[in-house]
Structure formats: structure tokens, C-alpha cells
Structure 1
Amino acid sequence: MGEERKEWPVKLPSFDFSGKTVVVTGGTKGIGRAIAMAFARCRANVVVSSRHQSDCMETAQTICSCGGCAEGICADVRQVSEIARLMEKSVLRFGGIDILVNCAGTAVTKRIVDLEEEDYNKVMDTNLKSVLFASKEAAKIMIEKGTGGKIIQIASIGGLKGSNCLSVYGASKAAVLNLTKTMALEWSRYGIQINAICPGYVVTELNKAQFENEKFLDKTLKQIPQRRLGTVDEIAAVALFLACDQSYMIQGEAITADMGSTCG
């Protein structure tokens, strides 16, 4: 009683990204859109990118109408030249890049014996090539600026285990996890923090049709201890944590956000 009040020894994250610029690839649908919206709510400048100009504009306008600050930049991240252009435009618009979230992704559902070369190229170019070169371009900007930064890869539990008819998808995500560790080794010295998120069973536009099948849904729920599907907003919350200052000790890791479905 009567003593001067002391401060808590640890400052908990408030998720305030004021003055920070976030680039989200695949930022107009599903998990990517949720992440873009979440950062905007936390006062970041957000660059939303996808292959479709109308989707970029719609998402950016939605953010701005809610009081956020966003720019939609159309880019096909399967093309290295377009990745470079995306980063250049982001810097011109907001003065730099502090956080990159690589969320562009696709899948081909086929048995291995039915796969074509174009299936492989489509998935690998979208899920792996884009991650490598977008991270490279963002890291160059962060290193030149000298203030470090955050790179977050959206991988999948499919990169941790085998999945029927998703061989190339799983291989691409497993490669992203290895790439994340290598980037951490190379770029930590520059104050760049790189981690990956492995979402579990989350309803997105990519898999919505599957979960509308009652038998598939029932089989899936039996694999999840909490007996429910995850939401895109829950994955966005993990991204916010990895981007905040208090997560600085986490480096090169794959954060599994699957409500325990890979525990058993």
C-alpha cells in the first residue's frame, strides 16, 4: 500500500504496425485477404497483390473504406520480372517494405501417375518459385534500408506429411519450409526474421468444394482433436504475432496452426 506502482517486466504485443508497410502476395482471397485485412486493422500500410487487377482494387478499396491504408498492385508472381516490379512499386508508394507475407498458392489434385509437366510447373512456380524470388527482392530492400524486416511464408501441414493426390503441392510446401530455414541462416545477420506458418484444415476458396462434401468433412473432422475447421482469421492472428517485435526469438521455424491434427 502506498508504494510506487511498478511496470510489468514484459511488454505484451499490442499489434500496432503504424508506419510499417506490408506486402501480401495472394492477398485478395482466403488466408491472404484475411492477413491483409488484419494488418490494415492494426494500422499498417498494406500492399495487396494478385494476378487479377479487379481483385486487387476491390480488396484495397475495402480496406480503405474501413479506414485503412492500402494499395492494390497486380502481379503474376510466377514471373520474376513481375515480382521485381511489385516490390519496386511498393517502395515507390510507401517508401519501403517492412513485412512480406508470401501467400500466393495453388494446388493440382491428381494421382502421381496422372500428373503432367504443366501441373508440376503450375504448382511449383506459384508455391515455391514465387516465394524464393519475392523473398529475395524484399530482403534486398530490407538489407539496403538497414532496418531489418519480417518475411512470413504461408506453407501448409501438407509440407509435413504425405497427402493422397497432392504430391506436387506437398513437395512445394516442404521445399518452402527448408527454404525458410536457409533464408534465416543467410539473413538473420541483417535483422531479417523469416518464419513459416503451416495452416491445417482451414476453409478457403481453394478447398471450399471439398468441405461441402459431408463424407469428406466428417473424415477430416475426425483428424482434428477440436473437431472443427480453422478460420482464415485465426491464421491471420498467427501472422500478426510473427510480425510483431515480441516474436524476435522465433527464427526459421514452421509454426503449425492446425488445432492438433498433426499430433497423432
Structure 2
Amino acid sequence: MSVAEKSQKKSGGLGETVSVIVQALLLALVIRTLLFQPFSIPSGSMRPTLLEGDYLFVTKWSYGYSRYSLPFGPDLFSGRIWGSEPKRGDVVVFKFPPDPSVDYIKRVVGLPGDKIQMKNGQLFINGVGVPRVKTGQIDNPDITEMPQPIDVYRETLPNGVSYDTLDLNPNSIGDNTREFDVPPGHYFMMGDNRDNSADSRFTVGYVPAENLVGRANLVFFSIAGKASPLEIWKWPSLMRVSRLFHFVN
């Protein structure tokens, strides 16, 4: 084999490797933009439904696509393409309205046109109290992030979606609010950890439809103790095996 043939073969091999890498990156970009996006839970605002250290998939097609479906949210278009409304009770990842570079995850409790209010810790939608039944207490700091037993209330929305909420304090600042009128094209979000959640009652405000990223769907990994999933040696003691492949409700 001549020197020229060897050089051509070597060049072809390098070109093929680069081509495969580029194709893999493009495929990953398409999957992340159109289908699934991994997301990690950074705080305890959605306890007990989601725990800090949960890693989940967000379905990007659930509500259509906006500029925020793309990496870095480039201002290429406004509104949503193939948009559909979230259902009351959906757990949604969205861009924080005051700073769209930040991702938030909360539950949709108010739809456009709704009137939302908290009275003595109970959620009211359009003047009607949402059924709230105490189911007991959780005495597990990994779930509650608190060193004492915490009251758990089962809340059931008008469309039948039911989930647990934590009540850390019966007289917190968020337990009694003014009545919020959700404007057209916006949503009212709340965390399930009602006394420890920055949500639409406070700094989040009403969330524009354009800011929705996707619906939280499946927990594929979970680790306690604020450990990194890359710390494999901690898996035997800190991995939450019961939460693996757990659907988000």
C-alpha cells in the first residue's frame, strides 16, 4: 500500500468518526428539543411528590413548542406551535417569568380566567373550596426535609386529579392570600410543599403559556443526601430504589 493510500485511509477514518459524532449530537439535540428533556429537582418545593435529588424526564410535546423549547431560548418566534393547554393538576416545568434563564417546576392549579385564593390553608378555585383531607403524618426527613412529623393533606381538584401536600405551618404567610384573577394565556402554579414554595402566590406570578417547557413525566433516577449521581460509590446507601421509574402524578 502506498503512502498516499495510507494517508487517504487515515483521513477517511477520521472523517467518519467526526461524522458519527456530529450525527449523534444532532440526534441528541432533536430528542431534547422535540421529545424528552432531563431535569433535576433542585429544591423541596414539590415535596412529597418530588424530592430534591430526583431526576426526571419532561415530555416536550405535551403543550406544543415555544422559543423556550429550544436550548438557550432564542427569540426566533413568539407564542406556541401545535400548542395545547395543560390540565389542572399537571406538574409542569416552566421558565421563571422574571428571569427565563431559570427553570421552575410546580403544579398547575389555576387556568386562564380562574379566580384563585388560599383561605386558612385551603385552596379555593372560583369561590369553591378544593376538598382537602388530612391523611396522616410523614416522619421521614428524606421526604419532608424536616426533623419532626409533618401533616399530610390529600387534595382533589375539580377534574379529579388528587395528590398529597405538606402542611409545615398552619399559619404561614401563604395560607391566606388575596384573590388572584388569572389573565388570559396565563397559569397559576403552586408547589405541593405549600409552606415552602416560591410560586404564583409570591415572586413567580402568573406564568405565560409561552414559558411552559413541558410536563414532568417519569422519575428515572433518585439519590438522597444531596449527592451527585456521578458519585457511584454512594449509590448503595443513598439511591432511592423505590422511586426509580416512578410516574409523576
Q: Same fold (TM over 0.5)?
A: no
More helix per residue: 1
Q: Shorter-chain TM-score: which interval?
A: under 0.3
Larger RCO: 1 or 2 (CA < 8 Å, sep 6+): 2
TM-score (norm 2): 0.27
